[in-house]
C-alpha cells in the first residue's frame, strides 16, 4: 500500500509471531462525568490527530497492516482487475416539452451538451422517442449549451425563446440568459444566486433564489431582464438559518412553487406566474413536518402528509389559495401496511405517485376524471417483474403527456429507462445500459424477512450465484446501515457480482433508522430508538443462519460512516454471530465525537442523534450504543477499519480509538482474528484501500481461494 500517513521505515523480515505484535498505544485515562455517569477514556489523546506522537502511532498501524495483509497481494491483484469495472449510472433519454425534444448528450472528453430538436416523424425512433447517435446531430437539432460541466440548473421560458443557465461561481451561481435561436446573451447580470430559477409567464422576468453569507438559499427575488440586480425586489425571505428555499414551476406552467425545508419542518408558498409582482401565498403550516409534499395540479393542490393518528402517509387534495395544510385537506388515498408515499406529480390526465412498497421504490398512475378529480379506484402500478426491482419516476415535464418515464434498477437489472402509458399496455424500454458479459441467469436475487425481538419484520435483500444452495455452508457479506433515513436499494455493481461469483452470498439488512419503509421506519431507529437498528441487524444475521443462507461462522459485516455505529454495536451485542467486520470511515466513537468542543452539530445530526451535551436521553442512548465504549472481555470478530485524514467528515480518531480499545479488551487470538487499522492521507483515489479491505474480508470468510 502507498497511501501511508508517513512512509513506514524499512523493516527486516519478521517471524510469524512478531507479525502479530500490533501497535499498543499507551493508555492515558481521563474521566468523563456527565449526567451522573462516569466513563474512563484511556485513548482520548488519539484525537489530537495532528500531533507527532499520534502520527507516529498511525504510521505504525499502517506498517502492521502491511505485514498482516502481505500474503493477500495476489488476491488483491486479481480483485483489482475485477473491481475496477464500473457500470455507468447515467441514463439520457430525450424529453418532450411543448413540441420540442430536449436532449442531454454525454461526450467522453467534452462533458455534457444540452440541445433540442422539433418533434416530427423524421426524428422519432422505434418507441416514438429520438435515439441520439454519439457525435451526430439529429436533423434540425441545435445545441443550446455547449458545455454543462459548470451548469447547475437550466430553465426555459414559457415560449421557449429564452434559456437561463445557472453557472457555478465562487459565491453562488451566475445566471446567464440566452436567446435559444441566436445564442446571444440577453442578461448575465445576476450573481450570487441559487441554481433554481423560473421565468414569469410573459418571459420578461426571472424568479430566483439568492444566497446569504452562509451559502444558504435565503431569499426569493424577481429580476426583470435587462435591469440592474440592485433594484430586484425580495419576494420572500427565510430567516431560519436551518432552513433553505427551493423553487420549481408547476407542470401546467401557471404557478411558482416555493418550498422552505429543514430536517424538521417544511413550508410551501405559491405565486401566480402571470402576476410575478404579487406576494407569495402560504399554503401549508410550517409545523406540518419535513416530509409534507405539496404539488400544484392545475385546478387544485395535492398533498402528501403523515396521518397524526396512524402515522401512515395520506394523499389528499385541497383548493388553490391560502391555507395551513394539511388542515382542511380532503384525504383521497391512505398508504397500506408496508407502504409509504414519497412524492406526487400531477399531469392533465393523471397523477404519478412515487412510493415504497415492501421496502422498494415503486410507481403508480392514478387517472383524473374530466372534472380533474382523482379516480383512486383505478390505480395502476408499474410492474417490471423483478423481485428486487427499484422503480423510480424520471423527469417528464409535459403537462399534456399521457405517459411517464421511470428508471429501473436491481442487483441484476442494469440502469434501465422505461415508459408507461396511461392508456395501458406493458412498460416499454427506452434505454438500457449495456453491461458486457452480464448473464443474469447465473445469479438469483430475492427478498427475505427477519423478525426483530419486538416482532417487527425487517427486510433483507439477497443476491447469490444461482447454484449456491441454502444449506448453511455459504459465506455471507452482510451490509448494515440504518441512519439518516438513507436507503440501501439494490443496484447492479460489478463488485457485488464478483463476490457472488466466488460463492459469497451478498445480503443487505434494511434495518430501522433507514428510509426503506418510509419516514416512520427512520423515526423508529433514530435518537432513543437507536437500539432498534441494532436489534434488527442481529435479527437479520440470525435469520440468514436459520434459513440456511449463511454458515454460522462465516458472516462478514460491512458498514460505512455512521452505519458502522450500528454494525459495531451489533458486534458488541452478539460477537459470536460475526466472523469479521469491515468498516470504512467508521463513526464508532459517536459519543466522544459529538461531545467534542470543536464539533458544531448540524441540524441533521441533532435530529438523528440528539445533543448528548444537553439532553440526558441522547447521552445515555449514545453511551449504550457506542461501539468503542461497550467492548466486552470476550472473543470478537476480526476487524479491519480504514479511514483517512482528508475527504471524510468523520474524525479518523474514531477508528483509531476503536481499534485500540478492541486490542485492549478482546480475548480473541490475533493470529486468527486480527484487528487492523489502515489510515490514508485522503479518501480520494482510495480504490486500493477498498480492494485491500475486500481481499481481507474474503480471506477471513474462507473465500479467498474460491473462483466464479
The 3 state secondary structure assigned to 570-620 is: HHHHCHHHCCEEEEECCCCCHHHHHHCCCCCCCHHHHHHHCCCCCCHHHHH
Distance, CA of 389 to CA of 662 (rounded, Å):
40
Instruction: Give the pLDDT score at 4.
Output: 33
Q: What's the pLDDT tens digit per position in 374-401? A: 999 999 999 998 999 999 999 999 999 9
Grid coordinates representing 275 are 402576476
Q: Give me the mean pLDDT over the 11-25 stretch.
A: 56
Residues 54, 58, 60: CA angle, nearest 5 degrees:
115
User: What's the mean per-residue pLDDT of the chain?
Assistant: 92
Contact yes or no for 31/39 (Cβ under 8 A): yes
**CA-to-CA dists, residue 405 to 149, 483, 506, angstroms:** 25, 30, 30
Is the pLDDT reported for residue 13 higher than 50? no
Q: Give me the mean pLDDT over the 267-281 stretch.
A: 97
Q: Is 483 helix (H, G, I), strand (E, B) or coil?
A: coil
pLDDT band at 3 (very low <50, low <70, confident <90, very high): very low
Q: What domains can you pick out in the chain, each with its CATH number? A: 65-84+443-700 (3.40.50.1820)
pLDDT band at 249 (very low <50, low <70, confident <90, very high): very high
Instruction: Give the pLDDT score at 12.
Output: 31
Q: Give me the mean pLDDT over the 498-520 stretch.
A: 96
CB-CB neighbours of 512 under 10 Å: 28
Distance, CA of 270 to CA of 252 (rounded, Å):
13
Residues 414, 418, 420: CA angle, nearest 5 degrees:
155
* Phi then psi dihedrals of residue 569, to 5 deg: -65, -35
Stronger pLDDT, 604 or 115, i.e. the higher one: 115
Share of the chain above pLDDT 70, in %: 95
Distance, CA of 563 to CA of 479 (rounded, Å):
9
Please give the helix or strand (H or E) that residue 431 lies within, else none: strand 428-432
pLDDT band at 289 (very low <50, low <70, confident <90, very high): low
Which of these, 365, 374, 356, 366, lies nearest to 301 by C-alpha position? 374
Instruction: Give the pLDDT score at 648.
Output: 86
The neighbouring-strand residues paired with 37 are 34
**CA-to-CA dists, residue 529 to 265, 324, 526, 562, 565, angstroms:** 21, 31, 5, 15, 14
Instruction: Give the pLDDT score at 346.
Output: 98
Q: What's the pLDDT tens digit per position in 103-147? A: 998 765 567 899 999 999 989 988 889 998 888 899 999 999 998
End-to-end CA distance of the chain: 26
pLDDT band at 200 (very low <50, low <70, confident <90, very high): very high
Distance, CA of 207 to CA of 246 (rounded, Å):
11
* Phi then psi dihedrals of residue 567, to 5 deg: -65, -45
Instruction: Give the pLDDT score at 685.
Output: 60
Lowest-confidence range among 41-50, 74-83, 255-264, 672-681? 74-83
Is the pLDDT reported for residue 10 higher than 80? no
Strands 505-509 and 476-480: parallel
Contact yes or no for 637/673 (Cβ under 8 A): yes
Lowest-confidence range among 42-46, 59-63, 263-267, 608-612? 263-267
Is the pLDDT reported for residue 197 higher than 80? yes
Lowest-confidence range among 34-48, 248-262, 283-297? 283-297
pLDDT band at 424 (very low <50, low <70, confident <90, very high): confident
Grid coordinates representing 287 are 409545523
Is the pLDDT reported for residue 686 higher than 70? no
Lowest-confidence range among 59-63, 136-140, 256-260, 633-637? 136-140
Instruction: Give the pLDDT score at 601.
Output: 75
Distance, CA of 370 to CA of 299 (rounded, Å):
12
> H helices within 365-478, ranges in order?
none
Question: SS in 3 state form for 292-349?
Answer: CEEEECCCCEEEEEECCCCCCEEEEEECCCCCCECCCCEEEEECCCCEEEEEEEECCC
Q: Give me the mean pLDDT over the 641-665 stretch.
A: 94
Q: Give me the mean pLDDT over the 412-424 stretch.
A: 94
Distance, CA of 596 to CA of 606 (rounded, Å):
14
Q: Which residue has the cell 459548470?
A: 150
Contact yes or no for 642/650 (Cβ under 8 A): no
pLDDT band at 8 (very low <50, low <70, confident <90, very high): very low
Is the pLDDT reported for residue 172 higher than 70? yes
Under the phi-then-psi rule, with left for phi > 0, alpha for psi from -120 to 50, and beta for the rest, what region is 342? alpha
**CA-to-CA dists, residue 295 to 20, 220, 262, 314, 353, angstroms:** 61, 19, 18, 14, 11
Instruction: Give the pLDDT score at 17.
Output: 38
For 392-423, b/e burial (b = at least 16 CB within 10 A) is: bbbebbbbebebbbbbbbbbbbbbbbbbbbbe
Instruction: Give the pLDDT score at 89.
Output: 73
DSSP 425: S
Q: Which residue has the cell 462478514?
A: 556
CB-CB neighbours of 262 under 10 Å: 18
Share of the chain above pLDDT 90, in %: 80
Lowest-confidence range among 110-124, 158-172, 313-327? 110-124
Q: Is 506 helix (H, G, I), strand (E, B) or coil?
A: strand
Torsion of CA 610, 615, 620, 626, to 10 degrees: 40
Instruction: Give the pLDDT score at 107.
Output: 66
pLDDT band at 706 (very low <50, low <70, confident <90, very high): low
Strands 281-282 and 217-224: unpaired
Instruction: Give the pLDDT score at 108.
Output: 58
Asked whether the bond before 414 is cis by omega within 30 degrees of 0, the reply is no
Stronger pLDDT, 207 or 311, i.e. the higher one: 207
Residues 6+ apart with CB under 8 A from 74: none
Grid coordinates representing 331 are 384525504
Contact yes or no for 554/701 (Cβ under 8 A): yes
The neighbouring-strand residues paired with 106 are 112
Q: Give me the mean pLDDT over the 229-233 stretch.
A: 96
Query: What DSSP letter does each residue of 515-577 carry, written as one string?
Result: STT-HHHHHTTSGGGHHHHHHHHHHHHHHHHHTTSS-TT-EEEEEETTHHHHHHHHHHH-GGG
Amino acid at each position: 500500500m502507498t497511501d501511508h500517513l508517513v512512509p513506514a521505515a524499512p523493516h527486516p523480515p519478521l517471524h510469524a509471531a512478531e507479525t502479530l505484535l500490533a501497535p499498543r498505544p499507551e493508555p492515558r485515562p481521563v474521566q468523563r462525568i456527565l449526567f451522573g455517569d462516569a466513563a474512563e477514556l484511556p485513548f482520548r489523546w488519539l484525537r489530537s490527530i495532528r500531533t507527532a506522537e499520534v502520527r507516529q502511532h498511525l504510521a505504525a498501524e499502517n506498517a502492521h497492516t502491511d505485514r498482516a495483509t502481505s500474503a493477500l497481494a495476489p488476491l488483491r491483484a486479481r480483485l483489482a482487475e475485477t473491481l475496477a469495472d464500473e457500470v455507468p449510472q447515467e441514463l439520457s433519454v430525450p424529453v418532450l416539452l411543448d413540441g420540442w425534444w430536449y436532449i442531454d448528450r454525454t461526450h467522453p472528453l467534452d462533458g455534457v451538451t444540452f440541445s433540442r430538436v422539433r418533434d416530427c416523424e423524421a426524428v422519432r425512433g422505434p418507441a416514438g422517442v429520438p435515439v441520439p447517435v454519439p457525435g451526430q446531430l439529429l436533423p434540425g437539432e441545435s445545441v443550446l449549451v455547449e458545455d454543462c460541466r459548470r451548469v447547475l440548473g437550466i430553465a426555459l421560458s414559457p415560449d421557449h425563446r429564452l434559456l437561463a443557465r445557472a453557472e457555478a461561481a465562487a459565491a453562488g451561481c451566475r445566471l446567464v440568459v440566452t436567446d435559444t435561436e441566436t445564442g446571444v446573451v440577453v442578461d448575465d447580470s445576476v450573481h450570487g444566486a441559487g441554481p433554481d430559477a423560473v421565468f414569469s409567464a410573459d418571459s420578461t422576468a426571472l424568479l430566483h433564489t439568492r444566497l446569504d453569507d452562509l451559502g444558504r438559499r435565503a431569499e426569493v427575488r424577481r429580476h426583470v431582464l435587462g435591469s440592474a440586480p440592485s433594484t430586484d425586489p425580495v419576494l420572500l425571505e427565510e430567516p431560519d438559518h436551518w432552513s433553505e428555499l427551493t423553487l420549481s414551476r408547476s407542470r401546467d406552467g401557471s404557478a411558482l412553487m416555493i418550498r422552505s425545508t429543514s430536517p424538521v419542518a417544511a413550508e410551501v408558498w405559491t405565486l401566480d406566474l402571470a402576476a410575478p409582482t404579487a406576494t407569495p401565498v402560504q399554503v401549508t403550516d410550517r409545523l406540518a413536518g419535513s416530509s409534507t409534499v405539496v404539488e400544484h395540479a392545475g385546478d387544485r393542490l395535492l398533498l402528501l402528509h403523515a396521518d397524526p393518528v396512524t402515522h401512515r402517509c395520506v394523499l389528499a387534495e385541497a383548493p388553490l389559495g391560502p391555507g395551513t395544510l394539511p388542515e382542511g385537506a380532503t384525504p383521497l388515498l391512505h398508504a397500506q401496511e408496508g407502504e409509504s408515499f414519497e412524492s406526487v406529480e400531477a399531469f392533465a390526465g393523471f397523477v404519478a405517485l412515487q412510493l415504497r412498497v415492501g421496502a422498494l421504490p415503486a410507481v403508480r398512475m392514478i387517472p383524473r376524471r374530466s372534472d380533474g378529480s382523482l379516480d383512486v379506484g383505478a390505480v395502476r402500478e408499474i410492474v417490471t417483474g423483478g423481485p428486487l426491482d427499484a422503480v423510480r419516476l424520471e423527469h417528464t415535464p409535459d403537462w399534456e403527456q399521457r405517459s411517464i418515464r421511470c428508471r429501473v434498477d436491481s442487483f441484476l437489472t442494469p440502469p434501465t429507462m422505461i415508459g408507461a402509458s396511461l392508456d395501458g399496455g406493458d412498460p416499454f424500454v427506452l434505454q438500457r445500459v449495456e453491461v458486457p458479459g452480464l448473464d443474469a441467469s447465473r445469479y438469483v436475487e430475492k427478498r427475505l424477512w427477519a423478525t426483530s425481538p419486538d416482532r417487527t419484520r425487517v427486510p433483507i435483500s439477497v443476491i447469490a450465484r444461482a447454484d449456491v444452495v441454502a444449506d448453511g455452508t455459504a459465506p455471507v457479506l452482510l451490509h448494515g446501515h440504518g441512519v439518516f433515513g438513507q436507503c440501501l436499494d439494490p443496484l447492479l455493481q460489478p463488485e457485488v457480482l464478483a463476490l457472488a461469483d466466488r460463492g459469497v452470498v451478498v445480503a443487505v439488512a434494511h434495518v430501522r433508522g433507514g428510509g426503506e419503509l418510509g419516514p416512520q421506519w427512520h423515526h423508529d431507529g433514530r435518537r432513543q430508538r437507536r437500539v432498534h437498528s441494532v436489534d434488527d441487524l442481529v435479527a437479520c444475521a440470525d435469520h440468514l443462519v436459520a434459513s440456511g443462507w449463511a454458515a454460522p461462522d462465516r458472516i462478514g459485516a460491512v458498514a460505512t460512516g455512521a452505519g458502522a455505529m450500528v454494525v459495531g454495536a451489533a458486534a458488541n451485542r452478539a460477537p459470536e454471530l460475526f466472523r469479521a467486520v469491515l468498516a470504512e470511515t467508521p463513526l464508532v466513537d459517536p459519543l466522544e465525537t459529538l461531545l467534542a468542543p470543536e464539533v458544531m452539530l448540524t441540524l441533521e445530526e441533532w435530529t438523528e442523534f440528539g445533543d448528548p451535551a444537553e439532553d440526558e436521553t441522547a447521552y445515555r442512548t449514545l453511551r449504550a450504543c457506542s461501539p468503542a465504549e461497550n467492548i466486552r472481555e470476550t472473543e470478537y470478530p476480526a476487524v479491519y477499519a480504514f479511514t483517512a485524514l482528508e475527504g471524510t467528515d468523520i474524525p479518523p480518531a474514531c477508528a483509531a480509538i476503536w481499534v485500540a480499545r478492541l486490542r485492549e479488551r478482546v480475548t480473541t487470538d490475533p493470529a486468527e482474528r486480527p484487528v487492523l487499522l489502515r489510515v490514508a492521507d485522503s479518501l480520494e483515489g482510495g480504490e486500493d484501500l477498498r480492494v485491500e479491505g475486500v481481499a481481507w474480508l474474503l480471506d477471513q470468510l474462507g473465500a479467498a481461494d474460491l473462483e466464479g
